[in-house]
Chain A
Amino acid sequence: MASEPRGRVQIDPNECKGCGLCIDACPPHCLVFTEELSPYGVHPAHYLGSGCTGCGICFYVCPEPGAIVVYRLSPPPKVISTTEASRAATL
């Protein structure tokens, strides 16, 4: 589980305008332009598939409201009740 990347991003090539701000801002440099052009004639940004920390920086520098979705690895479930705790322990 430790090798699982902490984050993951999904970039919609139909929403991305290819400005490159996310690529420039991503600290672990895990975003690149695609080789292919999008239907709108730009090279959209694309996640390399590993290295994302889920920091969210790309989301905040991106001007398009719907281009980027950032995922983060869920924290382990919080212990709320004994039954839940025992359930969590068996996972």
Chain B
Amino acid sequence: MAEYEVVHSKSPVFYPIYERKADLKHQTHYCPGCGHGVVHKLIAETIADLDLQDRTIFVSPVGCSVFAYYYFDVGNVQAAHGRASAVATALKRACPESIVIAYQGDGDLAAIGTAEIVHAANRGENITVFFINNAIYGMTGGQMAPTTLVGQTTTTTPWGRRPVNEGYPLRVCELLATLEAPVYIERVALSDNKNIMRARRAIRKAIELQRDGAGFSLVEILSPCPTIWKMTPTEARDWVAENMIRNFPLGVFRDRRLAMPGNGGPPQRSVAEVLGLTSPSLGTEAPAAATPTDTREWKMKIAGFGGQGVLLLGQILAEMGMREGKEVSWLPSYGPEMRSGSAHCHVCLSSQRIGSPLIEHPNVLVAMNEISLRKFAPSVTPGGLILYNRRTVPADLGVSNVRLLPIPAAELADQLGAAKVGNIVMLGALLELTGALSFATAEAVLQATVKNPDLLALDLRALQAGRDWARQLPREVR
């Protein structure tokens, strides 16, 4: 008996059903005969064959393929128009072990995103860019793209593109091939079976090169857009063959190995080492961590008025984390006013690499004033901690599932002689209540950063005052 085996079927890199809409959950949103679907399938096949599904981050653009993240069951980020290769740069640098794919149309990459692609290529980012050239803006209904052919009618060139008015079609591969850094640039076309198989090889090669750490690669794919071109799917495919290829010659524009110094991702030294903070000659050797095996991830938000030392408290925490060998980030956010405006900062302390320094849901909130308390308390994660710079908390503040502790930091600081060290009182209380970092580290950081001996003495007393206040809190509220 003859037995048949499946040789081609839906890739496991696609979701089984697409959650985008209530109905038609099994079809993509692309028009019949659209080139995007073909390219999606070729990319998915490669990711599956190379066993990269769990490592891939796909950056969708703005354009008809804006919803690619509904289809690819990989990591997904949707970038603002034209920014996919810049976003891909950030993702690759933050997660060097990932396979980062930027997928961009010609409006996206060659018009609004011209700067991003040129510089990503010029820096030799180890990313893969798939550039879908359909000579038109599809999503917005058919305006001229930089790649629109001379004479081609679009809604914005109703009498055909005229070089005298709109310039000539931009040849992206040729342009990028003038740069030093790219390792692989090829133009392929979805014009017929043979060329689709060439596209398949190019897509595979570009992803393999990234996997091998080779550097920047881009594959331009001449792709049909039957709807906007007002053609049948077969006519559109033939138009790619007859008109697009003539204007955009197929071929390999760059294929070479390049040994760029430092091409292998960010330096593998800790930030503290880079800044020289662990050098014994500075007398600031890292004290032991509070709990060396601590794997908790701290996401702290510190908020108040400018002038309350909100940003400085964050910096001190971040530097303490660095000295204890943690991954840290500090992200300030403040209005244009330097004083009395509201200010806050985000501090992450982690034993793992930090994906984003932006914290939406902190597990520790330090609210130095009531406005900040009311604004950010609802965002604290369940089980989190809020320290509020007052003796009592507002009676009408309804927060549940978090510990909300009043710490009269400014008042205690005032008693010590200067209300401005309220932030350091808070630091003492925070360290005592969380055990996130050690007091020895806090003292070392203060000693290294506060040059005035009187102020240093005051800060050290403030630290102790916060610690003492937290210690005398009844057990049940701690």
Instruction: Report which A residues bind B (CB closer than 8 A).
Output: 1, 4, 7-8, 14-15, 17-21, 24-25, 40, 42, 54, 56-57, 59-66, 68-74
Contact = CB atoms under 8 A, between A and B. Distances in A.
Contacts of A17: 27, 31-33
Contacts of B71: 65
Contacts, number: 102
A63 B34 contact: yes
A48 B196 CA distance: 24
Contacts of A40: 24, 27
Contacts of A63: 28, 30, 32-38, 40-41
Given A21-B233, A21-B237, A66-B26, A72 B33 contact: no
Given A15-B26, A20-B233, A60-B197, A65 B37 contact: yes
Contacts of B42: 60
B8 A70 contact: yes
B282 interface: no
B33 A74 contact: no
B233 A1 contact: no
A60 B6 contact: no
Interface string B1-31: 0111111111100100000000010111011
A58 B38 CA distance: 11
Contacts of B5: 71-72, 74
A13 B41 CA distance: 19
Nearest to A60: B196
Nearest to A66: B10
B242 to A, nearest CB: 15
A41 B406 CA distance: 65
B44 interface: yes
A63 B196 CA distance: 12
A72 B4 CA distance: 5
Interface string B395-428: 0000000000000000000000000000000000
Given A8-B4, A65-B44, 20 more contacts: A4-B2, A17-B27, A19-B32, A19-B233, A21-B234, A42-B32, A61-B38, A61-B196, A63-B30, A64-B27, A65-B11, A65-B37, A66-B10, A68-B8, A69-B6, A70-B7, A70-B8, A72-B4, A73-B2, A74-B2
A55 B208 CA distance: 25
20 contacts: A14-B26, A15-B27, A20-B232, A20-B234, A21-B233, A25-B193, A42-B32, A60-B38, A60-B193, A60-B200, A62-B41, A63-B32, A63-B37, A65-B71, A69-B8, A70-B6, A70-B7, A71-B5, A71-B6, A72-B7
Nearest to A70: B8
A69 B8 CA distance: 6
B32 A65 contact: no
A38 B460 CA distance: 77
Nearest to B30: A63
A17 B373 CA distance: 54
A26 B266 CA distance: 49
A64 B28 contact: yes
Given A21-B33, A21-B237, A60-B38, A65 B232 contact: no
A11 B24 CA distance: 17
A24 B234 contact: yes
Contacts of A7: 4
Between B10, B11, B36, B237, the greatest number of chain A beta carbons within 10 A of the residue's beta carbon is seen for B10
Contacts of A61: 38, 193, 196
A47 to B, nearest CB: 13
Contacts of A59: 8
Nearest to B238: A24
Contacts of A24: 234, 237
Contacts of B37: 62-65
B165 to A, nearest CB: 34
Contacts of B232: 20
Nearest to B34: A63
A15 B37 CA distance: 12
A17 B71 CA distance: 17
A4 to B, nearest CB: 4
A66 B14 contact: yes
Nearest to A91: B1
Nearest to B190: A61
Contacts of A74: 2-5
Contacts of B193: 25, 57, 60-61
Nearest to B27: A15
A54 B26 CA distance: 24
A66 B42 CA distance: 13
Contacts of A62: 37-38, 41
Nearest to B233: A19
Nearest to A21: B233
Nearest to B200: A60
B129 to A, nearest CB: 21
